Structure 1
């Protein structure tokens, strides 16, 4: 099981030096990948009575593709989007950006995608929130063709491409596409289409049921469920470093291929505290 880190972008600020220090420390400590969330704009809660979203316009989000262009030059860690909200973005442009990151990292890139939850963001980017699930399925098909074919002609419900292609192509052909999933419909979509998935829960009955839905959908689509990766996520707040060590065992027993340690929302401030937390987890010996 490969263990990485969740980039704590909402808590370490916007200083490029802090970003560089954090990623370099994660690599030096023995972590295998860095995972970043995606939000393009945040909503102003004052304009939306009863706003209950996890993030708003004051939450700091670095744009993952641009961030990874920077990190590709300074780290050998695998770079993972966890997740890009694909249906609110242009399909061919995401395929191009992903191909570039994959090229710059020499194939150390996983494209995690999902449908998101923020109607305000969809409006700002000119996309239909109600069609996001259907659009994502079509987008994945088109991106894989753009990554593997020199000239693509495609006519779908949301995108049209006529005899066009991407150059240079990615190293990985196709780039692995992993899905964020937290509903039965999303589980079925992951089983049909994804190379792997990101559970939004901890090991237990809920995870077991999600795995059953995904495996059934994969089998019905003629795919081998054993070939799908699964990346768990463990928050530092659930018992500190020792709690994460216990969670690593639980995720390994649940069949996870990857795991990310999340130090956000654990009361830490600044990059030094986040690095110290990563060091404490590494000190338990869970990284091998």
Structure 2
């Protein structure tokens, strides 16, 4: 099980030095990948009365593709979006940005995608919130063609490409696409289309039910369910024992990857996050790997 970290988007601030320190220290501690969430704009609660989203206009988010271009030169970590809100972005532009990150990182990008929940953000980016599910399914196939063929012609319900292609192509052809999933429909989509998935439930009956849906959809699509990756997540609570116990449950559940998340733990500065990651690394035995 490969163990990485969740980049503490909302708490690390805007200092480039802190971003660099975080990435390099995480690698030195033995973590294998860094995962970044995605939001382009936040909603202003003063305008959107009754706003209940987990993030708003004051929440700090670094743009994942630009962030990864920076970290690609500073670390050898795998770079994971979890998730890029794919349907609110232009497909060909995502393909180009992902190909460039993959090229500059020498094949270390894993593109996690999902639908998102923020209608305010969709409006700001000029995309239809209501058709996001069907659009994403079309986008994934188009992305893979753009990453593997020098010139394509494609006409779908949402995108049209006529005799065009990317140059340079990425190192990985195609780049792995993983799906965020927290509903039966999303589980089926991950099984049919994904190289892996990010469950939004903890190990236990709910996860086993989700896995059954993912694997069943893979079989129905003629795919090997054993080839799909699964990434769990463990939040830092200050207890090495609790973290190690939950990590063990993820391993037993068949997770191929695991991310340690320090956001929301009241750690303050980047030094606080790194101290927590050091303690977590000790609990997980990373330095002995």
Q: CA RMSD in A?
A: 0.8
- The alignment status of 1:124 with 2:124, answered yes or no, reads yes
Quote the residue 1:160 is aligned against.
160
Structure 2, unmatched stretches of 5+, are none
The number of residues matched between the two structures is 287
- Scaled by the length of structure 1, the TM-score of the pair is 0.98
> Matched residues in 2 for 1:242 and 1:16: separation?
33
- The alignment status of 1:185 with 2:185, answered yes or no, reads yes
- Scaled by the length of structure 2, the TM-score of the pair is 0.98
Quote the residue 2:271 is aligned against.
272
Q: 1:1-288 counterparts in 2 under 5 A?
A: 1-237=1-237, 240-287=239-286, 288=289
Secondary structure of residue in 2 paired with 1:284 = helix
Q: Is contact 1:236-1:266 (8 Å) kept? A: yes
Q: Is contact 1:245-1:286 (8 Å) kept? A: no
> Matched residues in 2 for 1:43 and 1:184: separation?
28
> Matched residues in 2 for 1:214 and 1:236: separation?
28
Residue 73 of structure 1, CA deviation: 0.6
> Matched residues in 1 for 2:239 and 2:137: separation?
38
> Matched residues in 2 for 1:142 and 1:258: separation?
26
Secondary structure of residue in 1 paired with 2:12 = coil
> Matched residues in 1 for 2:285 and 2:88: separation?
37
Secondary structure of residue in 2 paired with 1:5 = strand
Residue 92 of structure 1, CA deviation: 0.2
Q: Deviations over 1:122-160 (max 9, x none)?
A: 000000000000000000000000000111000000000
Q: Is contact 2:243-2:283 (8 Å) kept? A: no
Q: Is contact 2:235-2:260 (8 Å) kept? A: yes
Q: Deviations over 1:212-257 (max 9, x none)?
A: 11111111000011110000011113x6332111111100000000
Runs (4+) of structure 1 exceeding 3 A deviation are none
Residue 270 of structure 1, CA deviation: 0.5
> Matched residues in 1 for 2:224 and 2:118: separation?
33
